[in-house]
Amino acid sequence: MELCIERIDSWLVDIPTIRPHKLSMATMGCQTLTLVRLTCADGLVGWGEATTIGGLSYGPESPEGIKSAIDCYLAPLLSGKGFNGLAPLVATMNAHVKGNSFAKSALETAFLDAQGKRLGLPVSTLLGGALSDSLPVLWTLASGDTQKDIAEGQTLLAEGRHRAFKLKIGARPLAEDLRHTAAIKRALGPDVSIRVDVNQAWDAGTAVRGMAALQDIGIDLVEQPVALWDRAALTRLSRRFTLPILADEAVADAHDGYALAAGGFTGAYALKIAKAGGPAQALKLAQVAQAAGVALYGGTMLEGTLGTVASLHAWSTLKLDWGSEMFGPLLLKDDVVTAPLRFADGQVSLPSGPGLGIDIDEDKLRFYRRK
């Protein structure tokens, strides 16, 4: 079976968030989806999506940069060529385009969607087969206001939509962040898992004080407390505290995962399709982690439904020790798909059907796309 790629189109799609989402490095009021449509010579289409967080504040690719890498380099490279599977597609992209993993992730997703539709198989089957058809999903409390976060958490617990929460800290002085975290933990109760994401905001000394205090408060997991480049500090912290560390920005792909684990890191890795270059590439990192005894977590780049579903197909093939945060669509006021994902009982359901198992709403794409 060969897919002959005829053309690749892309759009920037701006969708407002339901409330400001405050991280240590940016506040989001809108999310930009870079959507990709891959059209095969016989008319079959596959869709992919890439997102980042806060323009260039999370990583080195902006939405505009992702679109430009696709339109100017990757689309001309791939159009008119036939591929009998993902390996030659990825080899071609990597041979001619360095980096740009977010752009490559959108294309790998679109290829998998098209391949699944052609074969009549879900993407999860192409990636090894789903272990389950729903995955645990937490919610991030990040309004920037402690009382609002508590009210939001209590409502979501009462509705049963989520059972675990992540807090975004690091923008404020440590003492303030600790008061905020302790108040939320106290209000939501001992049975609710609370994790924090510092998004690289602390230096190594602040991280030692922060970890000790967060351990006393009863926090379950601390994500990326120090800078991406400071693997030594991340590793020291992981060995010093029983409170586990989740590496996010520090670990993008299988090479990073190997280097961090070989250096003595213990804890967990946040898998993200964008960081790795696609759902199949993220699974390569998962395999390195499993071989090294590092735990797994299904991470989000706050994708819309398309990118979230692409991730879910990959994560469904794994045992995720820390569950997932695939709630991106719930943070957006609207989306460009015909049917929303189902979130209930602390879980998100994996769509069935060939390819990604979702359909694009062309009217909404026309409405939200950047003109």
Using only C-alpha atoms, what is the Rg of the chain? 20
Spot the catalytic one: 67, 117, 168, 275.
168
Binding partner at 31 among Mg ion, ligand MUC, none, C-beta below 5 to 8 Å by kind: none
**Region 125-154 residues binding ligand MUC, contact defined as CB under 6 A:** 140, 142
Residue 300 within binding range of ligand MUC, rule CB under 6 A: yes
Residue with smaller CB distance to ligand MUC, 299 or 355:
299
Q: H or E segment at 66?
A: helix 63-69
Tokens coding 61: 């690719």
Site string for ligand MUC, 305-334 (x = CB under 6 A): --------------------x---------
Residue with smaller CB distance to Mg ion, 223 or 230:
223
- Interface segment toward ligand MUC; rule CB under 6 A; list 33-41, 183-191, 297-305, 343-351: 297-305
Tokens coding 130: 């789903």
Closest by CA to 255, choosing from 279, 237, 274, 276, is 276
**Region 75-114 residues binding ligand MUC, contact defined as CB under 6 A:** none
Residue 248 within binding range of ligand MUC, rule CB under 6 A: yes
Closest by CA to 271, choosing from 255, 285, 259, 290, is 285
61 labelled catalytic: no
**Region 163-222 residues binding ligand MUC, contact defined as CB under 6 A:** 197, 199
Residue in 126, 302, 332, 358 binding ligand MUC, rule: CB under 6 A? 302
Interstrand relation of 45-50 and 27-40 (parallel, antiparallel or unpaired): antiparallel
- Interface segment toward ligand MUC; rule CB under 6 A; list 39-47, 180-188, 298-306, 354-362: 298-306
Tokens coding 97: 């385009």
- Interface segment toward ligand MUC; rule CB under 6 A; list 152-160, 182-190, 294-302, 312-320: 294-302
Distances from the Cα of 351 to the Cαs of 27, 123, 261, 279, 310, in angstroms? 31, 10, 33, 16, 10
223 labelled catalytic: no
- The rounded Cα 324 to chain-centroid distance in angstroms is 9
Residue with smaller CB distance to ligand MUC, 142 or 169:
142
Interstrand relation of 193-197 and 221-223 (parallel, antiparallel or unpaired): parallel
The single-letter code of the amino acid at 311 is S
What residues pair up with 12 in beta bridges, in sequence order?
34
Q: Footprint of Mg ion on this chain (CB under 5 A)?
A: 197, 223, 248
Q: What is the distance between the alpha carbons of residues 177 and 171, in angstroms, rounded to a whole number?
A: 8
Binding partner at 311 among Mg ion, ligand MUC, none, C-beta below 5 to 8 Å by kind: none
- Residue 170 CB, shortest distance to ligand MUC, in Å, is 10
Residue with smaller CB distance to ligand MUC, 113 or 230:
230
Interstrand relation of 221-223 and 82-83 (parallel, antiparallel or unpaired): unpaired
The SS3 assignment for 330 reads helix
Which residues would be at the binding site for ligand MUC (CB under 6 A)? 53, 140, 142, 197, 199, 248, 299-300, 302, 325
Catalogue the active-site residues.
Answer: 168, 325
